[in-house]
């Protein structure tokens, strides 16, 4: 059985669904599971056409603050169980995590915190990431198969940013953030895209302010990670850089069980 997953930071579900590019993609997608980040809407505010589609099971985790953060997953496969958040009150008010259990794996759809201007939220981000990693390692040690996707708000290595020297000291490329992805990999999790493509200029986010997408002056911030025991089940992992509608583009993963 093949399962196709997509992850996309849509930079506001109400905004993106006003764009023809989104519907061209969504209506023709053959994905079994579609994960959205930065939904920035309550479930009641999801545009009617997207809310009313009967092809998917839908689950959302919304932030307490209106118009902020939030994640949503559309799944053709019925979940066994859905959990919102990490189970830690001080980390869960922003609606950043959906944990969805399926018969063959547990999926995490995550909108990781941004460490902010002058790293004002770095401590919160590190606490969030550390709590997540502790949970992932515990599940991995229990023999669970894990898929961790979303906007990580971290570019891992120099190859993952357009101009590495210029990015030093910037949010999303701070040593503490990049070190956490090192820890994730050391704990036995694999960046699936790099299983297939070790080349440069593979980005998933481009600043609107500098017309960066036209120049492909981007960052790779969106990932599908799996535990190392899942490696043989990974059939493909891609960046859909030709899909427009957000300042991010979708990323994909195909698994074969």
Q: How is the chain split into domains, by residue range?
A: 2-256
CA distance 219 to 162: 6
Structure tokens at 253: 């993963």
Whole-model pTM over 0.85: yes
What pLDDT is stored for residue 64 in this prediction?
96
Predicted pLDDT at 210: 87
- Please tell me the predicted confidence (pLDDT) of residue 13: 98
Q: CA 214, CA 82: separation in Å to the nearest integer?
A: 39
Let me know: does 41 contact 12? Beta carbons within 8 Å: yes
Residue whose C-alpha is closest to residue 9's, from 218, 166, 186, 227: 218
**The pLDDT of residue 209:** 87
The CATH number of 2-256 is which of 3.20.20.70, 3.60.10.10, 3.40.50.720, 2.30.30.40? 3.60.10.10
How confident is the model at residue 20, as a pLDDT?
96
Q: What is the pLDDT along the chain (257 residues), one digit of tens a residue?
A: 999 999 999 999 999 999 999 999 999 999 999 999 999 999 999 999 999 999 999 999 999 999 999 999 999 999 999 999 999 999 999 999 999 999 999 999 999 999 999 999 999 999 999 999 999 999 999 999 999 999 999 999 999 999 999 999 999 999 999 999 999 999 999 999 999 999 999 999 999 988 899 999 999 999 999 999 999 999 999 999 999 999 999 999 999 99
Specify which residues 147 forms β-bridges with.
Answer: 107, 226
Does the active-site annotation cover 151?
Answer: yes
Q: Quick one: pLDDT at residue 116?
A: 94
- The catalytic position among 32, 92, 151, 222 is 151
DSSP labels, 28-85: T---SEEEEE---S-GGGS-HHHHS-SSSEEEEE--SSTTS--EEEEESSPPSEEEES
């Amino acid at each position: 059985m093949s399962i196709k997953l997509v992850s996309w930071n849509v930079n506001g579900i109400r905004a993106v669904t006003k764009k023809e590019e989104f519907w061209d993609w969504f209506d023709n997608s053959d994905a079994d599971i579609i994960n959205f980040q930065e939904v920035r809407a309550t479930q009641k505010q999801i545009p009617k056409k997207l809310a009313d589609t009967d092809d998917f099971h839908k689950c959302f985790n919304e932030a307490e603050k209106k118009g902020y953060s939030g994640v949503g997953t559309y799944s053709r496969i019925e979940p066994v169980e859905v959990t919102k958040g990490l189970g830690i009150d001080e980390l869960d008010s922003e609606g950043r995590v959906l944990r969805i259990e399926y018969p063959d794996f547990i999926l995490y759809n995550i909108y990781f915190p941004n460490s902010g201007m002058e790293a004002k939220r770095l401590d919160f981000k590190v606490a969030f990431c550390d709590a997540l990693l502790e949970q992932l390692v515990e599940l991995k040690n229990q023999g669970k198969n894990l898929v961790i996707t979303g906007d990580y708000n971290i570019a891992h290595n120099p190859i993952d940013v357009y101009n590495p020297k210029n990015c030093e000291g910037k949010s999303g490329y701070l040593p503490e953030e990049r070190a956490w992805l090192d820890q994730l990999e050391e704990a036995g999790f694999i960046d699936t895209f790099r299983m297939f493509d070790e080349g440069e200029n593979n980005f998933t986010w481009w600043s609107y302010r500098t017309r960066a997408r036209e120049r492909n002056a981007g960052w790779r911030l969106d990932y599908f990670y799996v535990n190392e025991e899942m490696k043989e089940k990974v059939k493909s992992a891609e960046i859909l850089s030709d899909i427009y509608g957000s300042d991010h583009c979708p990323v994909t993963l195909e698994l074969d069980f």
